Amino acid sequence: MTFATVNGVQLRYDWQAGDGEPLVLLHEMGGALESWDLVVRALPDRAILRPDLRGFGLSEKPAGEIAMEDLVGDVTALMDHVGIGTAHLAGCAVGGGVAIAAAGALGKRCSRLTAFAPATGVPAERRSAVLGLADFLAREGIRGFLEGDTIPKAWPEPRFDRNGEGFAIFLQTQLGTSPDMLAATYRMLAGLDLGETLKTLDCETLFVAGTHDIARTPAIVSQIASKVRDSKFLEIDSSHFMALQSPGLVAKILS
């Protein structure tokens, strides 16, 4: 277990020294670096950096709001800390949004970008509903929120096993999440708009959607992909938490 203080916060991270251009893996909201365990297991020889984003896992949980600029600053500073020059950035859901924003900030230091069901913004008509999720969290707590909202939407049975290792990792990381940090992330998402960043990306970019993802459908992800010049779009047999639900497919995409 490794920690570093960068950009004003303490972050936990895992650095797997290996071959090829480093891969930087950014987890979903409520996740942690363990969210990528099954994917990393399939890439034993690859150089991989994966942090707990600020507010999640065992990284520091600062008071107040979460800003995308801070998350991006954390990622770029951590890359500097471990000595990464250029990298392939990849992220799932909110981590996908952070990967997009970081790719925009890093410029040529990001050689490739792979975004799995990325969070890039919320339409104006949906903002009140997203803010309502923060209230739901305060009222029901993490377990009530997962059972009442996240699991039915993002881990549909019988297609995805709720008794396997992937679901166990999902539940462990999510139940260990601070409700305040999760609510702060929803408030950040309600005001997020990465539209201009998407237009400026000039690295090799792939957007991936899960066929069974009702939170961020293939149609939504395809529309996001259309905003990036020369990007590619791929739909796979998965749902919202692809690294845990379909790790073999994700590892193949990233290899």
Q: What's the predicted TM-score (pTM) here?
A: 0.97
pLDDT value for 139:
86
- Please list, in sequence order, all residues whose beta carbon lies within 8 angstroms of the beta carbon of residue 148, skipping any fewer than 6 positions away: 136, 140
pLDDT value for 138:
81
pLDDT value for 195:
96
Tens-place pLDDT, residues 166-193: 999 999 999 999 999 999 999 999 999 9
pLDDT value for 81:
98
pLDDT value for 157:
83
Among 145, 159, 152, 18, CA closest to 88 = 18
Instruction: Please give the Cα distance from 209 to 94 (Å, whole number).
Output: 14
pLDDT value for 121:
93
Domain ranges of the chain: 2-120+194-254
pLDDT value for 254:
98
Q: Which fold has domain 2-120+194-254?
A: Rossmann fold (3.40.50)
- In what helix (H) or strand (E) does residue 223 lie, and over which residues does it extend? helix 218-225
pLDDT value for 172:
96
pLDDT value for 100:
99
pLDDT under 50: residue ranges of the chain:
none
pLDDT value for 124:
86
Which of helix, strand or coil describes residue 126? helix
